[in-house]
A and B are shown apart, each in its own frame.
Chain A
Amino acid sequence: MVAMAWGQVEGVRSGVMFDAPKKAVRVVEGVAGAAHLGVAILEGVEDAWVSPSGKAAVVRGSGGWALVKGLGSDGVEERGLEVDLERAGWSGGGRYVAVSGSGVIEVWDVETAERVARVGLGEGREAASLAVNDEGELAVAWFDGEETTLEVWKRGNWEELGKVKGRGVAGVLGARVALAGEAEIALMEDGEEKWRVAVEGRGAPVGVALERGEVVAGYAGALVVFPMAGGDARVVDLEMEADRLERLGGGEGFLLRARAREGEEIWVAVRRGSEWKAYFVPAGE
């Protein structure tokens, strides 16, 4: 070894997110706890789901919904979507995105900007939650008003993995699929339910994600974190009311609350050491 060079010091950016009042995808300057929204990297956006990589998003601009990639770079590409998007779910690595709307669910490969799957929603079914893994495999949580059924799309067919009571959400990582409901959370792996744990009294979940060996379920007032292998949950109480649990684009952690208008608070949750903590992110002037 060892040859040394002069070190380089620079600033820190911890992600990007859609900011509705500014109609822009903006950079998160700094790190959670000392972060704030910074410059816009995509403007004229009415609505958006930003990929976990922060380099792609499905956005609604003046021309309708489109898949955009190359965010933050000079070479932004756009691919129009034919569906009137109602919901989207990104794979953990940001390779695939599942979108629903106009009566169908589509899975898009961001790298190739190609649609890899298109499935009809079916009459009277509400896709409460979409999830797709980095292999492009689609999992959908269907809510019928009383319970939520988790199905995966395999070889052209829906394959049911399990049910939970009430409204539920799904998250997927590789072969593992988590289904969180109003009263319980279940984890399926390779088509089999590995565990199921009761979570009473927290209402409908706002999202669930599999992250670093943990299943993180978001509720309005708390994050409930389970070891992916099963075991006791850790509850992280929130001093705000989360309305989502989405991977923070281009960074680590989750977006718990975005703002719809000026003056509202933006909240994220990040892991500090072994603990999840929630921080607000000021949006600037």
Chain B
Amino acid sequence: MRQKMKRTGGLLAWVVLAAGMAWGQGILITVREGEITRQIANGTTVEFAGKVGEGKDIFVELQYLGAFRAELGEASLTGSGDFRLMGVAPTPRVLQPREKVVFEVRFEPSSSKRSLAQLGLLVRELPPPDSNLLPGAYGLLSVGFTGTAPELKYAFVLAADGNVQPLTDGGLIRIAKAPVNQATFATVLVFNEGTAAGKLETVQIEGAAELSLNQVPLMPVTLGAGQGVQFRIRYEPKDVGEHTATLRLEGEGRVVRARVEGASQGPKWAYEVLPDLAGDVVDRLLPDGVVDLGEVELGKRKRVWVRVRNTGNEEGVVAGVAVSGLGFALVDPPLAQTPVRVGGELWFGVQATGVQAGRQTGRLRVGADTFLLTAFGFGPVLEYSYQAGGVVVLESGGQVAVPAAAIGQTTAAMFMIRNTGNRPATIGSIGVSGAGSPFQLANVPPLPLVIEPDGQAEFRIEFTPRLPGLNTAVLNVGAVFFNLTGTAAALPELPGYRWEGAGGVVAPFTQTSVGLTLQSAYPLPLRGTVVMTVDTANFGADAAVQFSTGGRSVSFVIPAGQTRAVFWNGSTTIRLQTGTAAGRIVLTPSFVAEGGIDRTPERPVVLELTVPEQAPVLLAARVEAGLTALNVTVTGYTTTRNLTKVEVTVRRKSGRTETFSFDVAQAAQLWFGSAASLSTGGLFSATVPFGVSGTAEERARLLADLEGVTVRASNERGTSAEISAPVV
């Protein structure tokens, strides 16, 4: 048709003579529809598109183009009633040249079906009035009309059943049993059932957000006869309930409104937060809401309980409960895929542990719903570090490596405690475990130590090793501890030492003292023992040879950094007794550094004291006189532990003296060879008895004349000095 129209439009001056004309003059047929004007040949059928129920005027103009006159007969419009002549028909009539008549035809489709009609009339050409020409023959002049009209039809299809259901104005599209949080679709079909192209102008939906249009083509859409288009209505309920909207379709000037109803089905979750299982609900939660656990003391735990209820219309399944975020944890969470019937509920706890000062956040997921977890940690947060060169941050149980030190030397590290929390921290104790630890603390703040938020305290850790190798200890700062380590080189060798005081040959029967002095100070405290051994030149060692503190060994200490041994008695010298028997007294020291490390030289310098053999020494003499006997008792010692002779000189008042010599070798040998003599060394008490004979008078005279005695004793080394005693 379009091509034809073009041809027609291009031949506006195309003259067609009526078929019945006897001479080549014709009638120009022009059909005008609105702004469109077409000149057509006689008998041509022209198609008109209208709208059902809507009238359209068509003007058919007949113009006589001949030179005489044209006689138009009575016109008739036959065919479909959708075409009808309007007004008074302009014929019959005789047209002068260039004169025309116009028929007004009203096309008002009653349906979208094709309709046919024809306007027809007889026409002949009349000769001029004054001529003898005969009128021309009648010819039929006809114009055919074909009427078309679009007719848009609407329908919808639900995914649930696939049935196509017509949709009319005021109709209803109901999408039922739609699962929550899933998309369910209804397809809307628009098709042109008419005979003319129709236009779908707009498609709109207004109402619940859960209902929306989907796959709508670009509007407007022209639908040819028999063509269609479709789009979808998407229903995605967020929860269980009813949702409505209005679908508005406008096409071919007609608006169709349909009600769209969505009804979802499924579980619906309601969330509540309770401080404890028996407590009241403190908060009702919505997905993406906040579960605030409030203030939580650092290091402590706080929990709330979450109740999940199914308020929907279908049993639901809680896929799982999970929590994220530092310090947050679930308490007694439900198993994965736990079904919850309609009206049912489940519980679980959310626990927050104060792990940092200030706001702590996390996430809680229950099935598909998520929530924000918040808590506010309060309390002190102590950060520990030490500085020995660089600063090293410590965790509890960490290692503080104090710089290495030589034995007896001191190195140090600064230990720092910083409170990064939001409450004051109190530290009740700071100390190093173990008595005698090589690690000592200095400048420790007064305890209990309170560190305000953002405050800091520090003290020194001093390392003074007394043992070589790795030294360890434990530093306790309140309830936390740190391992202290420090290394020390091997112990230095013991410096030389010397004996002081007695030495060499010493007199018997003396109490002397000795001391022990290092040639240079030792960096560590030394403990030691001096052991005395006695080698007697004769049988048996003198038991009297002992230290003043008793026995033949004595302990001492040499404080670190000092040189002189301090003995058990607190003195820097130790007394000892040389005894009364000849022999060699040997003092041998041993040295032990702290930790039990033997520092005794392989060949220690010993002190030798020699008690020489010498003549007896008499200490006391006593004379006991009786009427029949005179006993002279002398006490002394002989370092050889032997006596050969005792000489007693009796002095008389008359001046006369008598000397008696006693061979006591055998008696002495008996005594000094006995075990009993061992306890007294060379000491002896010798008694020499004298018998007094004569009459009683003679004995009395003799005794009255006695003045005293002088005694000397001898051994193989010589004779003692005299000692005298009066007669008692």
> How many Å lie between the Cα of A35 and that of B510 in the bound state?
11
Chain A nearest CB: distance from B526 CB in Å? 19
A-B contacts at CB below 8 angstroms, number: 144
**Is B86 interfacial (CB 8 A cutoff)?**
no
Within 8 A of B (CB), among A13-70: 29-31, 33-38
**Which residues from A are CB-within-8-Å of B578?**
34
**Which residues from A are CB-within-8-Å of B110?**
none
Within 8 A of B (CB), among A242-285: 259, 262-265, 279-280, 282-285
Among B637, B670, B690, the residue within 8 A (CB) of A4 is B690
Among B511, B680, B686, the residue within 8 A (CB) of A33 is B511
Chain B nearest CB: distance from A21 CB in Å? 9
Contact between chains at B670 and A9 (CB < 8 Å): yes
**Is A229 interfacial (CB 8 A cutoff)?**
no
Which B residue's beta carbon lies closest to that of A36? B544
**Which residues from B are CB-within-8-Å of A3?**
690-693
Contact A5 B551, CB 8 Å, known A34-B579, A35-B544, A282-B544: no
Within 8 A of A (CB), among B660-715: 660, 662, 664, 666-668, 670-672, 676-677, 679-681, 683-694, 702
Contact A36 B693, CB 8 Å, known A8-B687, A9-B671, A285-B551: no
Which A residue's beta carbon lies closest to that of B543? A36
**Which residues from A are CB-within-8-Å of B463?**
none
> How many Å lie between the Cα of A265 and that of B574 in the bound state?
11
Among A34, A259, A263, the residue within 8 A (CB) of B637 is A34
> How many Å lie between the Cα of A30 and that of B670 in the bound state?
18
Chain B nearest CB: distance from A169 CB in Å? 26
Q: Mark A104-142 against chain B: 1 for CB-CB distance below 8 A, else 0.
A: 000000000000000000000000000000000000000
**Is A201 interfacial (CB 8 A cutoff)?**
no
> How many Å lie between the Cα of A163 and that of B660 in the bound state?
56
Contact between chains at B543 and A29 (CB < 8 Å): yes
Among B577, B666, B684, the residue within 8 A (CB) of A282 is B577
Most buried by B among A6, A7, A8, A29: A7
Contact A12 B683, CB 8 Å, known A4-B690, A6-B662, A7-B664: yes
Q: Mark B580-615 against chain A: 1 for CB-CB distance below 8 A, else 0.
A: 100000000000000000000000000000000000
**Which residues from B are CB-within-8-Å of A279?**
511
> How many Å lie between the Cα of A263 and that of B574 in the bound state?
12
Interface size on A, residues (CB 8 A): 32
**Which residues from B are CB-within-8-Å of A6?**
662, 664, 666-667
**Is A156 interfacial (CB 8 A cutoff)?**
no
Contact between chains at B691 and A263 (CB < 8 Å): no
Among A8, A34, A282, the residue within 8 A (CB) of B683 is A34
Chain A nearest CB: distance from B716 CB in Å? 15
**Which residues from B are CB-within-8-Å of A37?**
550
**Is B182 interfacial (CB 8 A cutoff)?**
no
Contact A7 B686, CB 8 Å, known A34-B579, A265-B548, A282-B550: yes
Contact A10 B685, CB 8 Å, known A3-B690, A3-B691, A265-B549: yes
**Which residues from A are CB-within-8-Å of B683?**
11-12, 30-31, 34
Contact between chains at B550 and A30 (CB < 8 Å): no
Contact between chains at A265 and B569 (CB < 8 Å): yes
**Which residues from A are CB-within-8-Å of B676?**
11
Contact between chains at B684 and A9 (CB < 8 Å): yes
**Is B460 interfacial (CB 8 A cutoff)?**
no
> How many Å lie between the Cα of A66 and that of B633 in the bound state?
36
**Which residues from B are CB-within-8-Å of A284?**
543, 546, 550-551
Among B552, B579, B650, B684, the residue within 8 A (CB) of A12 is B684
**Is B328 interfacial (CB 8 A cutoff)?**
no
**Is B386 interfacial (CB 8 A cutoff)?**
no
**Is B643 interfacial (CB 8 A cutoff)?**
yes
Contact between chains at B577 and A2 (CB < 8 Å): no
Contact between chains at B689 and A9 (CB < 8 Å): no
> How many Å lie between the Cα of A262 and that of B671 in the bound state?
32
The SS class assigned to the A binding surface is loop
> How many Å lie between the Cα of A10 and that of B685 in the bound state?
5
> How many Å lie between the Cα of A8 and that of B549 in the bound state?
34
Within 8 A of A (CB), among B354-407: none
**Which residues from A are CB-within-8-Å of B539?**
none
Contact between chains at A280 and B577 (CB < 8 Å): yes
Chain B nearest CB: distance from A263 CB in Å? 5
Within 8 A of B (CB), among A164-179: none
Contact between chains at B569 and A263 (CB < 8 Å): yes
Contact between chains at A11 and B671 (CB < 8 Å): yes
Among A4, A29, A36, A265, the residue within 8 A (CB) of B691 is A4
Contact between chains at A34 and B681 (CB < 8 Å): yes
> How many Å lie between the Cα of A54 and that of B660 in the bound state?
34
Contact between chains at B687 and A7 (CB < 8 Å): yes
Which B residue's beta carbon lies closest to that of A265? B548
**Is B191 interfacial (CB 8 A cutoff)?**
no
**Which residues from B are CB-within-8-Å of A1?**
650, 658, 690, 692-694, 702
> How many Å lie between the Cα of A30 and that of B682 in the bound state?
9
Chain B nearest CB: distance from A8 CB in Å? 5
Among A30, A283, A285, the residue within 8 A (CB) of B680 is A30
Which A residue's beta carbon lies closest to that of B567? A263
Which B residue's beta carbon lies closest to that of A259? B550
**Is B568 interfacial (CB 8 A cutoff)?**
yes
Chain A nearest CB: distance from B300 CB in Å? 55
> How many Å lie between the Cα of A265 and that of B548 in the bound state?
6
Contact between chains at B671 and A30 (CB < 8 Å): no
Which B residue's beta carbon lies closest to that of A33? B509
Which A residue's beta carbon lies closest to that of B672? A9
**Is B619 interfacial (CB 8 A cutoff)?**
yes
Among A9, A33, A35, A282, the residue within 8 A (CB) of B547 is A282
Within 8 A of A (CB), among B83-137: none
Contact between chains at A8 and B686 (CB < 8 Å): yes
**Which residues from B are CB-within-8-Å of A5?**
688-691
Q: Mark B629-651 against chain A: 1 for CB-CB distance below 8 A, else 0.
A: 00000010100000100100010
Contact between chains at B685 and A9 (CB < 8 Å): yes
**Which residues from B are CB-within-8-Å of A29?**
543-544, 679-680
**Which residues from B are CB-within-8-Å of A31?**
619, 635, 683
Chain B nearest CB: distance from A23 CB in Å? 15
> How many Å lie between the Cα of A4 and that of B648 in the bound state?
11
Chain A nearest CB: distance from B576 CB in Å? 8
Chain B nearest CB: distance from A18 CB in Å? 15
> How many Å lie between the Cα of A5 and that of B575 in the bound state?
42
Chain B nearest CB: distance from A40 CB in Å? 13
**Which residues from A are CB-within-8-Å of B686?**
7-10
Contact A264 B549, CB 8 Å, known A1-B693, A33-B511: yes
Contact between chains at B671 and A33 (CB < 8 Å): no
> How many Å lie between the Cα of A67 and that of B580 in the bound state?
36
Contact between chains at A11 and B547 (CB < 8 Å): no
Contact A262 B550, CB 8 Å, known A5-B689, A10-B671: yes
Chain A nearest CB: distance from B596 CB in Å? 21
Chain A nearest CB: distance from B640 CB in Å? 13
Contact between chains at B693 and A30 (CB < 8 Å): no
Which B residue's beta carbon lies closest to that of A21? B550
**Which residues from A are CB-within-8-Å of B546?**
36, 282, 284
Chain B nearest CB: distance from A242 CB in Å? 15
Which residues of A approach B to under 8 Å, CB–CB?
1-12, 29-31, 33-38, 259, 262-265, 279-280, 282-285
List 20 A-B residue pairs with CB atoms under 8 Å apart, sorted by A's residue number.
Answer: A1-B650, A2-B690, A4-B688, A5-B688, A5-B690, A6-B662, A7-B687, A9-B664, A9-B672, A11-B683, A12-B635, A29-B680, A34-B509, A34-B578, A34-B681, A265-B548, A265-B569, A279-B511, A280-B575, A284-B551
Beyond known contacts A8-B686, A30-B683: 10 more, CB 8 A cutoff? A1-B693, A6-B664, A7-B689, A9-B686, A31-B683, A34-B579, A38-B543, A282-B546, A282-B547, A282-B551
Per CB-CB distance, the 3 closest pairs between chain A and chain B, nearest first, are A282-B546, A3-B691, A283-B550
